[in-house]
Amino acid sequence: MATPAGLVDVTQFLINAQSLDTNVRTAAEEQLKLFQEQNFPGFIASIASELSNNAKPADSRRLAGLVMKNALDAKEDIRKKELHARWLALDPTLRQNVRDAVLSTLHSELPDVRHTAAMVVAKVAAIDLPRKEWPTLIQALLANIGAVPPVTGTRQATLEAMGYVCEEMAAQSDEVLTPQEVNMILTAVVAGMSSTEPNESRLAATTALCNAIEFAVHNFENDNERNMLMQVVCQGTQSPEIRIRTASFECLHEIAAMYYHKLPAYMTELYNITVKAVKEDQEEVALQAIEFWSTICDTEADLQEDTEATCHNFIKAASPHLTPILLEQLTKQEEGQEQDDTGWNISMAAGTCLGLAARVVGSEIVPLVMPFVSANVSKNTGPEDWRLREAATFAFGLILEGPEPLQLMDTAKQALVFLLQVCTGHSSCHF
């Protein structure tokens, strides 16, 4: 990278900013802050140089990337606009040099440094792409992914960067990526999701697809392209790697939210793989599989309010088979979960899904749930039966919203007897 006026060796500042000694750390942080405020062009050039310099320590390079990311973006809109304006006020040549430095860091041999660079690429892209000021970015990323022979680390980091860029573009109010760019991105991402790819690349590609799925409207209109996308995502749900399975199910509920009307041809397979995940896979994966059905519930609840919209009634068809599975998950509570406002587990996810299903199918949910309630609401044959009692009570409460009140009258009378028995007969009950 060209050396602009004001370039400073920031290595020691960045190392000291990670010191366990509070005085050393605070002094370094103040020096970096002062440098940024007094000479932003020199600061951004120096930080970019540190990030891209393979001779520098890994710790200083990693922090340089994080500092740079924070210098370009903020959560608060007013602050974000200020940071964007400051970047745009830089000399165009300096900005291009910084872009080149960050892109080159995707080739680093250090995974943490590549990861940080991928985030920085997206933050720069968030400012420049909407203004057509980085027209070569997408082609540069595609070139990295398609390099022959492939460089695994570069390919994985570039797929990660692609995902972050798509995430940033999804937050824009205007369409930034052209249909041609979307097609090229999806082609590269689908190739990266192949089962022959290393797990890290495959995970990065799957995450990138999840972030890019919003832009795939035209692709989902094409039968062949839609089939290909659904195939690779469904294959990902069967990966031996839990992170890939989890990300693949995340993709599925994003697809369900955006392309509900394209799902009928795939629902049998989607039912099979989601139910298998809920019943047999680790909780992290099962949570995402349940989220797929919660998304379908949300969509169909909205469609029922729109008299002109077509509802495929997936929940009505699936509820006789899905409800027993959700009820089983209700019994997998964590003790004290009702007091934990931040916790989320399989029992809570299943409860949310069951409640949403009750809203969609109405009174049809009652005969599917009440046998479970009747059998378990007063069960007391062993020390773990509190789970069944609590699940039964929870299930009854969840189905109250959907059915018509008159249809629940007899059921409510029956359940009230059981609930009174529980409250008076079990001093150790958990509700």
Provide the pLDDT for residue 271: 97
pLDDT in tens, 282-304: 999 999 999 999 999 999 999 99
Average pLDDT, the chain: 89
Provide the pLDDT for residue 420: 67
In sequence order, the 6+-apart residues with CB closer than 8 A to the CB of 117 are 51, 65, 102, 103, 105, 106, 108, 157, 161
Phi, psi of 204 (to 5 degrees): -60, -40
Q: What is the mean pLDDT of residues 142-146?
A: 93
* Half-sphere exposure at residue 160, Cβ-oriented, CA atoms within 13 angstroms: 25
Question: For the whole model, what pTM was predicted?
Answer: 0.86
DSSP for 150-217, written as a single string: --HHHHHHHHHHHHHHHHHHHTSSS--S-HHHHHHHHHHHHHHTSTTS-HHHHHHHHHHHHHHGGG-H
Banded model confidence at residue 337, pLDDT cuts 50, 70, 90: low
pLDDT in tens, 378-391: 777 777 788 888 88
pLDDT in tens, 145-171: 988 888 889 999 999 999 999 999 988
Select the more confidently predicted residue: 305 or 7. 305
pLDDT in tens, 13-43: 999 999 999 999 999 999 999 999 999 999 9
- DSSP secondary structure letter of residue 238: T
Confidence check: pLDDT of 431 > 50: no
Provide the pLDDT for residue 426: 52
Of 173, 157, 257, 153, which Cα lies nearest the Cα of 210? 257
pLDDT in tens, 100-139: 999 999 999 999 999 999 999 999 999 999 999 999 999 9
Provide the pLDDT for residue 4: 45
Of 218, 262, 254, which Cα lies nearest the Cα of 233? 254
**Interatomic CA distance for residues 389 and 375, integer angstroms:** 9
